Structure 1
Amino acid sequence: MADDKTKSDFRDRDRISGDEDYEVEHFAQKVGLTPQQVRELIKKHGNDRETLEREAKAFGRR
């Protein structure tokens, strides 16, 4: 089920939903990875935004 973008609050701003293509694509563009790489990071490290940003930086250095 898609997010209702008319109802927004700050409850999940610190998470990235791997089920929502637009969230994955936006984050991938932000950190310079492909959406598939972001999904792999979510599977491995969970969906916490801070953790994913840290791991994306490390992933990019490989």
Structure 2
Amino acid sequence: MPDDKLKTGRQDRLRINSLEDHEVRAWAKKPGVGTEALKAAAKAVGSMAADVGAYLTSHA
């Protein structure tokens, strides 16, 4: 079943799905980093947004 982009909720705010381009672009705008840096951070620490944010902050 396709992901319904109109139905966002708690899970969508807590996780970054690096396989969905629209999610990567949206999350990349928030911390002010590029999409490649965001994908690398998600690969390093997982999909939890808080972990990715902490990783990006510590590696800035």
TM bucket (normalised to shorter chain) is 0.7 to 0.9
**Which residue in 1 is equivalent to 2:4?**
4
After TM superposition, which residue ranges in structure 1, 4 or more long, deviate above 4 angstroms? none
Query: Who wins on radius of gyration, i.e. which is larger?
Result: 1
Map of 1:16-55 to 2, 5 A cutoff?
A: 16-55=16-55
Aligned equivalents of 1:32, 1:7: Cα separation in 2: 25
Point out where structure 2 has 5 or more consecutive residues left out of the alignment: none
Q: Percent identity?
A: 30
1 CA distance for matches of 2:5 and 2:22? 12
The alignment's C-alpha RMSD in Å is 1.8
Question: How many residues end up aligned between the 2 structures?
Answer: 60
- Where do 5+ consecutive residues of structure 1 fail to align? none
> TM-score normalized by structure 1?
0.77
